[in-house]
A and B are shown apart, each in its own frame.
Chain A
C-alpha cells in the first residue's frame, strides 16, 4: 500500500513539475474553442499537410476552417521583464539632514550609511510605496545631551532608532510647475540613556522644486515634540516627565530648507539647515531641558554609479553657538535598488 502511495505521489509530483497551462487561443485564428467544433481537427495533427515545410516549432498558418494547434509554441510576445521599469538616478528623499519633497518611486529600496568624525554611525533604510508614500527605519545621531547649560561638550545619544512614514505627490503631478510635496512623520522608539528616558517626534511638510535642470530648492516646516523623563530636578528620589509641548507652542515649530546645485554632471553641491533636539538633564529651567538647535550642513554628492552616491561634507550641530570644535566631517554612501520593483513587475 505504501509502495503504491509513493508511486502515486511521485507521479503526481513529476507531472506537476512539468505541467504547463494550456495557452489561450489567439484571437481570430479559430482558437482552441472553435477547434473542437471544426471538422477533421484530429486528422490535421501530425499530417504532412499540416507540417509541410513549416518548422516543427512555431504556430503553422491556419485557415478559417483549420483549428489552431493549442500546444504549438506561441510566437514570442514582446514583454521584456528587466527593461520596462524605469531605472537609474532618482530624486533623493533627503538633502543632507533634512527631508525633501520627493518620494522614492514605488518599490525602490534606499539605504544610507554614514560615519563622521564625532564617532557617529548612522543607517537609514527606506522603501517607496506606490509612488505616493514611503516607509523607513533609521538610526540617527542627531539627538544630543548635556548635563548643565554651561557644559561645553555636548554628547550624542546613539543609536537613536526612528521610524518614518511619508506621503505626498511628485513634482508636476497635479498641475504644471507644482512642486513635489510630502507630509512626513518621524517618531523615535523610547531611548533610555543614563537613567533618562527620552523620545522625539517630528511632523514635517516640505515642498521641493527643480529650477532648471541643475538646481533645486527645498522649503518646509516642522512641528516637533519630545519628552524627557527621569530625575531631572537633581533629586534621585524625585522622577518626573516633561515634554516639549508643555512649553510655548511656537517653540515646537521650525522652518527648514535646503538647496542643491549641480555644476558638474556627476557632482552636486548641497546645503541645508535643519533642527535637532538637545536634552539638558540638570538645567534649572524647564524651557532649557528640551531645546531645538539649528544644524547647518554643506557638502557634495558624487554619483559613482546610477545606484550609488558618495556624499561628504561638514555638519555643524549647533550653528547658533558658533562652536567650531563641534563641527563634524561626515562621509556617507547611499544605494538605491530597483530589484524589488523588477520583482514586483515580473509578477504582474
Chain B
C-alpha cells in the first residue's frame, strides 16, 4: 500500500502539466478544478433526448470564476412509486469557484478549486421554493494523456419547509485523450445530486460517460450518456452538448484555412 502511494506521488510529481490548464469547469456532471483564464468567457449548451438540458456561461476572474445559467440536473417526483425517473426541474444556477492552478504553489501540485453552486429563480413548479446548494472541493491533475478529478461535496437541498440537511459525498471524474486522437477525449464521472420527492429530499448518484471532440480551437462538442440511481438502463439519457471559449483580450483564432 505504501509502495503504491509512493509510486502515485512520484507519478504526480513528475507528470508534466499542460502549459495552460483546460478551461471547462466540469466533466459531464462533476466539477473540475479548471478555471477559465482571466477575462475568458466559456459557454455551454446541451440538450438530452427528453428535451432537458442546460445553458451555462462562465467568466474567468483570474483566481476565480463565476457561472450563471440553468440546468435540469435536479429532478423531482410527486408520484415516485410509479414514476421513478421523476420530472426534470429547470433551475436557475449560479456558481462561484475560487482556486489555484496546477503547480501554482509547488511542483506537482494539482489544480484545486473550492466552489459553491446554488439555485435561484426556482419558483413556479410543483416544488415551490426548490433550492439546492453544493459546496465542493476538487483537485484536478494532468497525468500524461489522462486528466483526473477527485473531490468531495457537501450538498443540501429542499423545498418549502422540507430540507435534506448538509450531506457529504465524494465526486470523481476523468478525461482521457488518446495519443493518436489528440482532439478526442473520453469522459467519465460520478456525482451525487438531490432528488426532490413528495415529502423529503434524497441524494441519488449520477454517472456519465461520453466523448468530447475538440472540433475547433475555440469550440468542442460532447456526446454522452448519463445514468441515475433510480432509473433503469432504458431510462438513461443521451445528451449532446457544445462548448465555446472566447477571450476578447487574446488574439482571435487564426483562420484555419489560411493555417493550412
Contacts and interface: CB of A to CB of B under 8 A. Distances in A.
A263 B96 contact: no
Contacts of A118: 120
Interface string A327-340: 11101000000000
B238 interface: no
B98 A298 contact: yes
B256 to A, nearest CB: 31
Given A152-B163, A324-B133, A329-B116, A302 B96 contact: no
A16 interface: no
B135 A312 contact: no
Interface in A309-324: 310, 312-314, 322-324
A314 B116 CA distance: 7
Contact of A329 (B38, B95, B158): B95
Given A314-B116, A322-B166, A324-B135, A329 B66 contact: yes
Interface stretch (A36-44, A62-70, A84-92, A264-272): A264-272
Interface size class of B (residues with CB under 8 A): 20 to 34
Given A325-B131, A327-B118, A329-B116, A312 B62 contact: no
Contacts of A313: 64, 96, 98
Interface size class of A (residues with CB under 8 A): 20 to 34
A302 B62 contact: yes
Given A117-B94, A117-B118, A329-B116, A299 B64 contact: yes
Given A119-B120, A302-B38, A329-B116, A312 B66 contact: yes
Given A300-B98, A312-B64, A152 B161 contact: yes
Interface in A293-313: 298-300, 302, 310, 312-313
A81 B207 CA distance: 65
Contacts, number: 77
Contact of A300 (B61, B119, B154, B158): B61
B53 interface: no
A117 B154 contact: no
A50 B154 CA distance: 90
A117 B117 CA distance: 10
B63 interface: yes
B129 interface: yes
B10 to A, nearest CB: 29
B173 to A, nearest CB: 22
Interface string A246-286: 00000000000000000110110100000000000000000
A278 B131 CA distance: 22
A263 B98 CA distance: 12
Contact of A325 (B63, B64, B156): B156
From DSSP, what is the main secondary structure of chain A's interface residues?
A: strand
Contacts of A312: 61, 64, 66, 96
Nearest to B92: A117
Nearest to B64: A300
A153 interface: yes
Contact of B118 (A266, A310, A328): A328
Contact of B96 (A264, A267, A329): A329
A325 B158 contact: yes
A298 B92 CA distance: 22
A331 B66 CA distance: 8
A329 B64 CA distance: 13
A182 to B, nearest CB: 28
B63 A267 contact: yes
6 contacts: A267-B63, A298-B98, A314-B96, A324-B133, A329-B95, A329-B118
